[in-house]
Amino acid sequence: MAPIRVPDTLETDRLVLRPRRVEEAATYRRLWTERDPRVPEHRRIDAHGRPTVADIAAGVDGEPGLLAVHRRATAELIGYCGLTLHGSERSDEPELAFELLRAAHGRGYATEAGRAVVEWARESGCPRLWATVWDWNVASRRVLEKLEFDETGTVLAESTHGRSMLTVRHL
Ligand SMILES: CC(C)(COP(=O)(O)OP(=O)(O)OC[C@H]1O[C@@H](n2cnc3c(N)ncnc32)[C@H](O)[C@@H]1OP(=O)(O)O)[C@@H](O)C(=O)NCCC(=O)NCCS
């Protein structure tokens, strides 16, 4: 498959998605502070306050497929949604990822952003997209269901954090 080209913008009725910028790192760190306590420690802010805003800023360019999600009406940054193009479970088949600030939950934004990203993947010639989700993450599982991902039955990890389940979307 040809490399996936990252778009300048993806637009939906209420949202604009575009490549993340280093200056947005404070908002991406806020997402870390809002994570559910069941999320494993390496994905949470540690006792020393790490990752810091600077740590997160340093990683922004390394994930070019994750797009900033802005509300179209206000230009407010509410999180990210996109494709993990490097380091995903299967590098030729990217993984869908999304995370929004709590204040923006419950309005259909993740589903709306996710639909635009799925369409981007389809137009790029991806045969499949993957997503992993914790069994307890009801909101995310519902978003994936609305985006027509199927549960594969594969459990990637099982621990005190829960079961990490692999889902797939055929395009
Ligand atoms: C997952 C997440 C992105 C969803 O964002 P969102 O914009 O609120 O999602 P949407 O509004 O598009 O859809 C959420 C759906 O889950 C449902 N839902 C949310 N919480 C729920 C709960 N506790 N029980 C049952 N359903 C729930 C909503 O009702 C909605 O479904 P509906 O449209 O059928 O009513 C957001 O919760 C988030 O950022 N969570 C933390 C990060 C995360 O989990 N990322 C995904 C990792 S796999």
pLDDT of 91 above 90:
no
pLDDT at 85: 83
DSSP 104: G
Q: Binning pLDDT at 50, 70 and 90, where does residue 88 land?
A: very low
* Ligand 1 centroid, distance to 132 Cα (angstroms): 14
Is the C-beta atom of 120 inside 6 A of ligand 1? no
Is the C-beta atom of 108 inside 6 A of ligand 1? yes
pLDDT at 35: 97
pLDDT of 119 above 80:
yes
Tell me: the pLDDT tens digits for 37-74?
999 999 999 999 999 999 999 999 999 999 999 999 99
Sorted by sequence, the CB contacts under 8 Å of residue 140 that are 6+ apart come out as 98, 110, 133, 134
Dump the DSSP string for 32-59: HHTS-TTS-GGGS--TT--S-HHHHHHH
Highest mean predicted confidence (pLDDT) among 2-11, 13-22, 82-91: 13-22
Query: Mean pLDDT, to the nearest integer, of 81-98?
Result: 77
Query: Mean pLDDT, to the nearest integer, of 82-96?
Result: 73
pLDDT of 18 above 60:
yes
Is the C-beta atom of 110 inside 6 A of ligand 1? yes
Domain annotation for the chain: domains and CATH numbers: 10-126 (3.40.630.30)
CA–CA gap between residue 125 and residue 110 (Å, rounded): 23
Q: Binning pLDDT at 50, 70 and 90, where does residue 86 land?
A: low
User: Residue 4 has which token pair?
Assistant: 């996936």
* Ligand 1 centroid, distance to 96 Cα (angstroms): 15
pLDDT at 92: 64
pLDDT of 89 above 90:
no
Residue nearest to atom 17 of ligand 1 (CA): 139
pLDDT at 90: 46
Q: Binning pLDDT at 50, 70 and 90, where does residue 93 land?
A: confident
Is the C-beta atom of 98 inside 6 A of ligand 1? yes
pLDDT at 3: 79
